[in-house]
Amino acid sequence: MSDIKLKPIILDQTGINEFYKVFGAGKETVVDGVQKFMPVEEIIARDVVSKSNTQMPGIFNYENLKDGTAPIFDLLPLWKNMSTNQRISKLGTDDKIIQFLTRNSKGEKLEFGTMAEGA
């Protein structure tokens, strides 16, 4: 039995539009000492993970969610027996991380492609 209780981060079209307004398609940034272009989807995913992580610090971060090694996986019945590769296939993209940790203002799962990006 799992005692994991993460409240979803509320993200709706207005919030997504704000990211696009501020960052456009993305921004140049330095990650682990390396200059790279960070697409807006990664910026949103990192923001959502950062906000979610404050509810249960230390059980996940952006990198270990993406690479399938986050300790939270071992605490979730549906995920604990999955291999790292299975976890990556289910949650290894920015869009999947965003969908996993967010809901819209009506409490519904976000569906990409149904919202007009940057509209």
Task: Give the Cα separation of 43 and 31 in Å (integer).
Answer: 12
Cβ contact 68:84 at 8 Å = yes
Q: Which residue stretches of the chain are H helix?
A: 13-23, 40-53, 62-66, 84-91, 94-101
Q: What is the pTM of this model?
A: 0.83
Both tokens assigned to 95: 């869009």
pLDDT per residue as tens, the chain (119 positions): 456 788 999 998 888 889 989 888 888 888 778 888 989 999 999 999 999 999 989 999 999 999 999 999 999 999 999 999 999 999 999 999 999 999 999 999 887 765 444 43
In eight-state DSSP terms, residue 83 is -
Amino acid symbol at 64 = N
Q: Nearest 5°: phi and psi at 31?
A: -125, 120
